[in-house]
A and B are shown apart, each in its own frame.
Chain A
Amino acid sequence: MFGSEALDLARIQFAFTVSFHILFPAITIGLASYLAVLEGLWLKTREQVYLDLYHFWLKIFAVNFGMGVVSGIVMAYQFGTNWSQFSTFAGSITGPLLAYEVLTAFFLEAGFLGVMLFGLNRVGPGLHFFSTLMVAIGTLISTFWILASNSWMHTPQGHALVDGRLVPVDWLAVIFNPSFPYRLLHMVVAAYLATAFFVGAAAAWHLLRGHDNPALRKMLSMAMWMALIVAPVQAVIGDFHGLNTLEHQPAKIAAIEGHWENVEGEPTPLILFGWPDMAREETRFAVEIPVLGSLILNHSLSEPIPALKEFAAEDRPNSTIVFWTFRLMVGLGLLMILTGLWSLWLRRRGDLYQSRRFLRMALWMGPSGLLAILAGWFTTEVGRQPWVVHGLLRTRDAVSAHGVAEMSISLALFVVVYLAVFGIGFVYVLHLVHKGPLTGEGREPPVSGGAGRPRTPARPLSAPEEGLDEGTPSARS
């Protein structure tokens, strides 16, 4: 049979492949909406700068979409290969949701993506804008399905247990399960923020190198408006999401807070830092603020939050991990808010595009959104443990009965291939970023592409013409 090592390897493999995968859809979701906004602004104002930015980010969007499709193929098979008992037990519910996600993605690819990538000079601006909008909405619909499936695993409802397997009883209840609205909103906004900071960093990189043009300034400006307005909104959404988790998955909250024990009638402090020790059942080296835990989570000065010792040891998530991934996410979120406020201050002083210190900050904040997404997903997924479907199926009962040998081989292969393949993809994206937005790109002769042509929406990577390494990057100033 299989031991805990094989289970751990299966978990590592899933974490590895899905962590790689999520980065691409996150940027795809964000860029699709960003492109829709850019094109909308262009149609409204007819300012060339919006069209230039549209063409620049369209290429990066295409590469990113392609990478997401490739890494997604592996995900579509992994539930069966590695988590066969989960698939048998819950497949009647998660299978259809996943199938809808796949169908949505293919519908996009077959329909509006082609017009969006290659059609601006052929179908006219109105229809083209409509296609861009549809692609943006399509990415959100895809997100809708996959998060419905994931949220259901956290807060399952609408099902019945028949012959040892779950069957759907009420699809609306399954889809609109209690954590779904919060998770969906939190993830979509996270994708927007991650994209905004990526865009902002690209602009900062060019500005720091002395490249300066209206497109770069517009990029930075739009990104920083997003940071200023959306990062605080995300904090509020996150707070609501946390309250929802407290209601439905109290053990996860206790683990996130590293909170082990309640003393009768006393409010819970907030542990800022510390080292939750699962074996000793305490959080060592804790730096606490009294009462704040109760205040944040219960909006009360006296009512304590659930403590880890209220749950059997075998039902506790790993507090050491989620304590820190949560703090990483929140810390990055606070930095994003700070960046937004700083940008406002500089903007009012008219110094936004010149302050090197700020531009360096914006550059370093480039990956912050993606890192925060990973940290957040680690928090919620590790926090759901030891369950794969909360309260219904334990992770150790969900895994396929593979041995350590084959799990090691496959994990090693995935690591090597992913690093090579997506590493090159990442370098290519950076190369496109380095080239910078060109002025007047939209006025160049129409790019020939479309269904059945050499450059086709079925191969989004064929949209950008740039080679892998064509000398030094250049931006026109």
Chain B
Amino acid sequence: MGIDLSLIWAAIISFGVMMYVVMDGFDLGIGMLYPFFKDSHDRDVMMNTVAPVWDGNETWLVLGGAGLFAAFPLAYAVILSALYLPLVFMLIGLVFRGVAFEFRFKAREEQRHLWDKAFIGGSLAATFFQGVVLGAFIEGIPVADGQFAGGALDWLAPFPLFCGLGLVVAYGLLGCTWLIMKTEGRLQRRMHDLARPLTLVLLAVIGILSLWTPLAHEAIARRWFSLPNLVWFLPVPLLVLLSVRALLRSVANNDHARPFLLTLALIFLGYSGLIISLWPNIIPPAISIHDAAAPPQSQGFTLVGALLIIPVILGYTAWSYYVFRGKVRHGEGYH
């Protein structure tokens, strides 16, 4: 066996989750920015900047779940049952957000505010609990006899809750910079004003997490601060600082597309940092991708379908974004 199927699957799933975070992140962020924009025309524009693409973004979440089930059933079972309540809250948030999205367009003017509230609440709950899930995952999941061996409320701890807030800020900035790219005029100016404080808060969040994680987890501290790892991984925090500086500058320059791209870079760097911290574990702190792997005949069988279909989905996604390029204006789009 020259091919490490587990490695390929870990890469596919990491990629899927990354795609999800990048793409659903700004949709959810827009939902959370909604409360700051009361004007219903502004809200229409904001929603229309994601209407053509948001639903496809959730594809990656389902693909990640199904891929995990097929390739790493142990991880699927343990992680999902360990994080039961936050995941249920997240799913319900997503259901609400999704349906609110559709029916807001179909509702009468007087009822629209109800769907707006569902949209805001759903986005906020989905984001916050995604962060909680992430935080609890980093904290580690106790496993005994191949089953989750912790408590139902293990996730209700400072670190996961802080991660929940952190993700709210991160997605908020993604949404804000996406809107800078996709809107113009007054709405864009207000987004420019929001971007700077959001960036600074996000920098603080990243700083706190970068200290908190190694302080709380010796293995993660060793991964980063032992030699020669330190040299290899040093570019990650340096690039974070450079990106933040460039981001603040581009916001000050009233750039259009650059703030969003730099925020994506920040998210990507944070995600890389996460993978560096946890590799090769799929259930931190001790179960590796190989321990949790399905037998090669399962991974191989599913890989055939994944390799055929994921490129189609990617191509389709790229095409969607290409067709949807450019600014969204008042009174445009789908009603």
Interface residues of A (CB under 8 A from B): 66, 69-70, 72-74, 76-77, 79-82, 84-88, 90-96, 98-104, 106-107, 109-111, 162, 164, 167-169, 171, 400-403, 405-406, 409-410, 413-414, 417, 421, 424-425, 428, 450-456, 458-459, 461-462, 466-469
Q: Write the nearest CB–CB distance from B49 to chain A, whole angstroms.
A: 10
Q: Is B187 positioned at the interface, with any CB of A under 8 Å from its CB? A: no
Q: Is B173 positioned at the interface, with any CB of A under 8 Å from its CB? A: no
B297 x A167 contact (CB < 8 A) = yes
- Given A95-B76, A103-B305, A467-B108, verify A452-B70 contact (CB < 8 Å): no
B306 x A421 contact (CB < 8 A) = no
Q: Is B324 positioned at the interface, with any CB of A under 8 Å from its CB? A: yes
B297 x A468 contact (CB < 8 A) = no
Of B52, B66, B95, which one neighbours A99 at CB under 8 angstroms?
A: B66
B62 x A402 contact (CB < 8 A) = no
List of B residues within 8 angstroms of A467 by Cβ: 106-108
List of B residues within 8 angstroms of A99 by Cβ: 66-67, 69-70, 302, 305-306
B69 x A468 contact (CB < 8 A) = no
A452 x B334 contact (CB < 8 A) = no
Q: Is B102 positioned at the interface, with any CB of A under 8 Å from its CB? A: yes
List of A residues within 8 angstroms of B319 by Cβ: 451-452
List of B residues within 8 angstroms of A107 by Cβ: 309, 312-313
List of A residues within 8 angstroms of B77 by Cβ: 80, 84-88, 91, 400
B88 x A410 contact (CB < 8 A) = yes
Q: Write the nearest CB–CB distance from A145 to chain B, whole angstroms.
A: 10
List of B residues within 8 angstroms of A461 by Cβ: 102
Q: Write the nearest CB–CB distance from B92 to chain A, whole angstroms.
A: 5
22 contacts between A and B (CB under 8 A): A73-B58, A76-B66, A76-B69, A81-B80, A81-B81, A81-B83, A81-B84, A88-B73, A91-B76, A92-B295, A92-B298, A95-B71, A100-B305, A102-B63, A103-B309, A107-B312, A167-B298, A171-B297, A450-B323, A454-B51, A459-B55, A466-B106
Of A66, A168, A405, A406, which one neighbours B297 at CB under 8 angstroms?
A: A168
Q: Count of chain B residues with Cβ under 8 Å from any Cβ of A?
A: 74
Q: Does more than half of chain A's interface fall in helix, strand or loop, or is it mixed?
A: helix
Q: Write the nearest CB–CB distance from B127 to chain A, whole angstroms.
A: 16
Interface residues of B in 269-311 (CB under 8 A from A): 294-295, 297-298, 301-302, 305-306, 309
Of A73, A409, A425, A454, which one neighbours B333 at CB under 8 angstroms?
A: A454
Of B51, B53, B312, which one neighbours A111 at CB under 8 angstroms?
A: B312
20 further interface pairs, Cβ-Cβ under 8 Å (given A79-B69, A92-B298)? A76-B66, A77-B80, A77-B87, A88-B74, A91-B74, A91-B294, A93-B298, A95-B298, A98-B70, A99-B305, A107-B312, A110-B315, A164-B146, A403-B152, A417-B95, A428-B106, A452-B321, A453-B52, A453-B324, A455-B334
B88 x A413 contact (CB < 8 A) = yes
What is the CA–CA distance of A98 and B65 in the complex, to the nearest angstrom?
Answer: 10
Most buried by A among B91, B294, B312: B91
- Given A103-B305, A410-B88, A424-B103, verify A84-B80 contact (CB < 8 Å): yes
What residue in chain A is nearest B101 (Cβ atoms)? Answer: A459
A95 x B316 contact (CB < 8 A) = no
List of A residues within 8 angstroms of B148 by Cβ: 84, 400-401
Of B69, B321, B324, which one neighbours A91 at CB under 8 angstroms?
A: B69
Q: Does more than half of chain B's interface fall in helix, strand or loop, or is it mixed?
A: helix
- Given A95-B302, A106-B63, A452-B53, verify A84-B78 contact (CB < 8 Å): yes
- Given A417-B96, A467-B107, verify A87-B58 contact (CB < 8 Å): no
What residue in chain A is nearest B314 (Cβ atoms)? Answer: A110
A110 x B312 contact (CB < 8 A) = yes
Of A417, A458, A462, which one neighbours B92 at CB under 8 angstroms?
A: A417
Would you list the 5 A-B pairs with minimal beta carbon distance, nearest first?
A91-B73, A452-B323, A80-B80, A454-B334, A84-B81
Most buried by B among A96, A405, A452: A96
A421 x B99 contact (CB < 8 A) = yes
Most buried by A among B80, B83, B321: B80
- Given A171-B297, A401-B148, verify A468-B80 contact (CB < 8 Å): no
Q: Write the nearest CB–CB distance from B267 to chain A, whole angstroms.
A: 22
A85 x B152 contact (CB < 8 A) = no
Interface residues of B in 117-135 (CB under 8 A from A): none
- Given A95-B70, A468-B107, verify A81-B298 contact (CB < 8 Å): no
B71 x A468 contact (CB < 8 A) = no
Q: Is B61 positioned at the interface, with any CB of A under 8 Å from its CB? A: yes
B152 x A402 contact (CB < 8 A) = yes
List of B residues within 8 angstroms of A94 by Cβ: 69
List of A residues within 8 angstroms of B333 by Cβ: 454
What is the CA–CA distance of A401 and B80 in the complex, to the nearest angstrom?
Answer: 12
What residue in chain B is nearest A171 (Cβ atoms)? Answer: B301
Q: Is B59 positioned at the interface, with any CB of A under 8 Å from its CB? A: yes
- Given A171-B301, A406-B85, verify A95-B334 contact (CB < 8 Å): no
Q: Is B98 positioned at the interface, with any CB of A under 8 Å from its CB? A: yes
What is the CA–CA distance of A386 and B116 in the complex, to the nearest angstrom?
Answer: 45
Q: Write the nearest CB–CB distance from A289 to chain B, whole angstroms.
A: 47
List of A residues within 8 angstroms of B84 by Cβ: 81-82, 400, 402, 406, 410
- Given A95-B298, A106-B59, A451-B319, verify A80-B69 contact (CB < 8 Å): yes
Q: Is B48 positioned at the interface, with any CB of A under 8 Å from its CB? A: yes
List of B residues within 8 angstroms of A95 by Cβ: 66, 69-71, 73, 76, 294, 298, 302
Q: Write the nearest CB–CB distance from A319 to chain B, whole angstroms.
A: 32
What residue in chain A is nearest B317 (Cβ atoms)? Answer: A110
What is the CA–CA distance of A294 and B78 in the complex, to the nearest angstrom?
Answer: 47
A454 x B48 contact (CB < 8 A) = yes
List of A residues within 8 angstroms of B88 by Cβ: 81, 409-410, 413-414
What residue in chain A is nearest B99 (Cβ atoms)? Answer: A421
Q: Is B56 positioned at the interface, with any CB of A under 8 Å from its CB? A: yes
B302 x A100 contact (CB < 8 A) = yes
